[in-house]
Amino acid sequence: MKIVDLRHRDFTKNEELQKLISRSDVEVEEYEKSVKEIIKDVKERGDEAIIEYTEKFDKVKLTPEELQIPFEKLEEAYETIEEDVRWALEVAAERVREFHEAQVEKSYFLEEEGMLLGQKVIPIERAGLYVPGGKAAYPSSVVMNAMPAVVAGVKEIVMCSPNPNKYTLAAAFICGIETVYRIGGAQAIAGMAYGTETIKKVDKIVGPGNIFVALAKKNVYGVVDIDSIAGPSEILVIADKTANPRWVASDLLSQAEHDELAAAILITDDENLAEQVHNVIYGELLLDMPRRKIIEKSLNNYGHIFIVEDIKKACEVSNYIAPEHLEIVVENPFDYLNEIKHAGAIFLGEYATEPLGDYILGPNHVLPTGRTARFSSPLGVYDFIKRSSVIYVSKEGFKRVSKYASDLAKAEGLFAHKLSVDIRKEGN
């Protein structure tokens, strides 16, 4: 983990910082070709292609009847998981539901003389959730992806997950998901986008995945909507001399353990804190981590401690990085909230540790990565609705605005547009 002094320098030109923000720029050509072939094959051959790819990549041989997991298995998983885990999932689902209910939009109408103009808010009909499986289980991702859709009023939610374990299935049951397919990868994304004999086509696909899943989502966008193309996870901690170095170190490790491309960043104005955090990580906490090898690779490649002049400068550097997770662990964290312009989620104070947000607080943990927080938002109810304009114009209302429309159509040289307005003036 590198300690880099950014004081009194143009930080945008720092090589280590540039390496950090460009870590998602992987060469995708070799993967892109394979993904496009898989999508084309699934589009043409449906279930047969999905079954072949599932056997090839996941080493699981399925029949068409086995693609969907019976609903009874979801209920069974819910009833058989440990009581403390079941209760934690129930609490998490309820807290996430309550938080997202505040995001619900309502239709509205504006009346003018001779006109009624408005917006009708409509939930999408079918949403597809992708949940990674296999080596890892993420029941929390089921909750975070499903609950905004439930609150939005999505009529049908389906889920794809390769080899889902009992916790993932139990989470699906808690969220009211009845249709779960035991498939993953690009073939699952293609199946949800185009439909097969067994899988019904959805309108939107959400959820994280590996490079094949991300590229598949990118390639089916337009056929269906997607939430985002997720990149590696990242955390940025802004801390001053009042921060507990062991707590800060543990927060950095919590993201580094995700994968080798994850980034763990500390920005501080205190050299002593920088040294203390570094020493705690390598001399204490890292030694007993079960995922130590992953963490070490992450920290070696993308672990950084930046030293700056003051906390306001730290906020400036943070805005440049636009992190997925941002913790502000300083004496008066609310003093700096207005300084933050770009971040997926902002955690204020020493007790607001990022893993609480991952699991239980309520705000969504599906967040913009790879600097996309500059223009993107966390997953929410608004991702599962669409809006239709509603327009009524009476004869009197037509008279009020028709001349302007006719004049603009003429200026643009669109004379059929002008005709459709003028013909109504003539009344025949």
Who's near 86: CB < 8 A, 6+ residues apart?
78, 170
90 is catalytic: no
* Catalytic entry in 100, 325, 342, 365: 325
Q: Judge contact between 181 and 188, C-beta under 8 A.
A: yes
**Would you call 87 exposed, middle or buried from its count of C-beta atoms within 10 A (0-12, 13-18, 19+)?**
exposed
290 Cα distance to chain centroid:
27
Question: Which two tokens mark 273?
Answer: 């804190």
Q: CA 397, CA 85: separation in Å to the nearest integer? A: 60
Element (H, E) at 41: helix 29-45
Residue 367 phi/psi, 5-degree rounding, is -125, 155
Element (H, E) at 212: helix 211-220
Q: CA 372, CA 101: separation in Å to the nearest integer? A: 25
Cα dihedral across residues 175, 180, 182, 186: positive or negative: negative
* Catalytic entry in 324, 327, 350, 354: 324
72 is catalytic: no
Element (H, E) at 169: helix 166-174
Report the first-to-last Cα separation within the chain, whole angstroms. Answer: 78
Strand order across the beta sheet in which 204-206 lies: 68-69, 179-181, 156-160, 126-130, 204-206, 225-226
Which sequence positions are flagged as catalytic? 324-325
